[in-house]
Amino acid sequence: MAFNSGKPYGGIETTNGRLIGATDTDYFYFFCPKCPDKEIMRILEYGEHERTETNKYDATCKSKTKYGFTLAFKLHCEKCGLTDFVKVSNIGRQGGKYSDFLGKS
């Protein structure tokens, strides 16, 4: 089945540094950007947003990848009902100081 039932998706509340998270063991949790006290969000589904044979960062980074990818996650907060999206990618930014990029994409 297509991610998000084939409907368009994109983060709204998750943008501009509002979505943060953390690990407990080696699992990563996303915290609701609307609720206080780091309410953990459910991940309703994930999908492959993009996959590339090569990775442009391999030309300039010391480390090498097997391929390029962007995964999309559909997040939901049981407490406030917020549903939103976030992407994780190895063809987006791969280094540098976060503060240098925030709000400049």
Q: Which residues bind Zn ion (CB under 5 A)?
A: 32, 34-35, 39, 77, 79-80, 82
DSSP designation for 5: G
The DSSP H or E segment spanning 31 is strand 28-31
H-only helix segments in 10-103: 98-101
Residue whose CB is less far from Zn ion, 34 or 49: 34
Q: How far is the CB of 34 from Zn ion (least distance, A)?
A: 5
Residue whose CB is less far from Zn ion, 18 or 87: 18
Q: How far is the CB of 95 from Zn ion (least distance, A)?
A: 31
d(CA 5, CA 2): 5
Q: How far is the CB of 43 from Zn ion (least distance, A)?
A: 14
**Greatest Cα pair distance in the chain:** 44
Tokens of 8: 């368009």
Residue whose CB is less far from Zn ion, 50 or 78: 78
